[in-house]
Amino acid sequence: MDKVIMLRYGELFLKGRNRSYFEGVLARNIKQALSPFECKFSRTQNRYYVEDYSFEDEYAIIERLRKVFGLHSLSVAVKVKTEYEAIYAAAIDCAPTAGTFRVNVKRADKKLSMNSMQIAIEAGARILRAKPELSVDLHDPDAAVNIDIRENGFTYVFGESVACAGGMPVGTAGKGMLLLSGGFDSPVAGWRMAKRGVKVYAVHYHSYPHTSLQAKEKVVDLAKKLTPWCGDITLYVVPFTHIQEEIHRRCNGDFMITVMRRVMVRIAERLAKKEGCGCLITGESLGQVASQTMESITSTEDAVLDLPIFRPLIAMDKTEIMEQAEHIDTYDISKQPFEDCCTVFLPRNPVIHPKLDEARSEEAKLKGEEEMIEEAIAEAEVLHLGEKAAE
């Protein structure tokens, strides 16, 4: 009896012509996730299987697969040749040791003489004989014994299913440039867009020596935490010190954050285009801080030429965001106290509702903005993070 992991994906988004494209991307992402393990991966219609893996790796493989967007559930199954005795033996093995159960049979292989109902009844009877403490409950059983008889001459027998991450395969919805700070919000924002199939790139603005090197390391750690879900991430670490000092020197201090945000998205847009990204992504949430009012957001949007800015957290509460951060395991990194560049030179009374023309004219006070932007991009450090990058 061989053990295999059966993978299922949602079929809703697979209607029509895109189906084979989605399946191909999903298969590639699964293979990437499995690359640290010795195992065999195969695809048959509607199903993926992982086989020939070492038992010690089973848990790690399952945990890894549960982070692949596009997969909806998986089960560990026993694979036997399609022969009655082998099927019944596997069913007995798979049955629980206490409580109630039912047997479900799916028979794609019509060559068998018994039909699904007959096989279910016989398997149920055998299980009861082997484990007399059990009883059958067809309507609300504690456990199910599933017998899946496929066309390929093999039958898969399994109990419960484990829920996976759902969503869409990463890479099927284009690419996005995430503005990644060290806070709680932006990693969650990137994760949510990846769940919708967006391949995430990231940019971080760093104000060394006003901010510490640890602040940068924190962001690298955050990006790494995202890679099991998002796949490899290219992270641009952009030196922002000079620009920030210039804003501080030349602009009305109350507009510090407003102007900074405008320059940040300008740089992000250029990097986005360089990487072929179709959107920017931020962790903004309406009303959370002064720079996240409608007027502030309007001012930031104004500085981007032609890409949309996606803000997947815009209508989420901080508590909801924190829960997600715990779920994706970025919480403990984000809570480390290293300063972000946004907290340096903070004005005492930042404008909360900046007027667009004022925001524009404050930014216009910057001398040589174009050159500064070009210089920052030229000096950016480019990091490739994730499994493939490590190979």
- The single residue among 204, 216, 218, 225 that binds ligand ATP, judged by CB under 6 A, is 204
| Residue 146: HSE in the Cβ half-sphere, 13 Å Cα cutoff | 14
Q: Which of 181, 201, 191, 186 is nearest to 385 (CA)?
A: 201
Q: Helix, strand or coil for residue 256?
A: helix
The CB-of-316 to Mg ion minimum distance in angstroms stands at: 15
Measured in Å, how far apart are the chain's first and last C-alpha atoms? 34
Q: How far apart are CA 145 and CA 138, in angstroms?
A: 11
Would you count residue 386 as binding ligand ATP (CB under 6 A)? no
**Residue 312 binds which entry of ligand ATP, Mg ion, none, CB below 5-8 Å type-dependent:** none
296 is a contact residue toward Mg ion (CB under 5 A): no
Residue 180 in the binding site for ligand ATP (CB under 6 A):
yes
Cα 279 to Cα 266: distance, rounded to the nearest angstrom? 12
**Binder of ligand ATP out of 29, 146, 155, 186 (CB under 6 A):** 186
CA–CA distance, 27 with 42 (Å, rounded to integer): 9
Q: What mask, x for binding ligand ATP by CB under 6 A, covers residues 302 to 341?
A: --------------------------------------xx
Task: Name which of 269 and 284 has its Cβ closer to Mg ion.
Answer: 284
Nearer to Mg ion, 29 or 181 (CB): 181
**Piece in contact with ligand ATP (CB under 6 A), picked from 17-25, 147-155, 175-183, 353-361:** 175-183
Task: Name every residue whose Cβ is closer than 8 Å to that of residue 224 and which is 6 or more positions away in sequence.
Answer: 233, 385, 386
- Give one DSSP letter per residue of 125-179, joined into a string: HHHHHH-TT-EE-SSS-SEEEEEEE-TTSEEEEE---EE---S--TTTT-EEEEE
CA torsion 125-129-130-136 (nearest 10°) is: 50
The answer to whether residue 185 forms part of the interface with ligand ATP (CB under 6 A) is: yes
Which residue lies nearer to Mg ion by CB, 88 or 236? 236
Encoded one letter per residue, x for contact with Mg ion by CB under 5 A and - for no contact, window 169-198 reads ------------x-x---------------
Binding interface with ligand ATP (CB under 6 A): 179-181, 183-186, 203-205, 282-284, 288-289, 291-292, 340-342
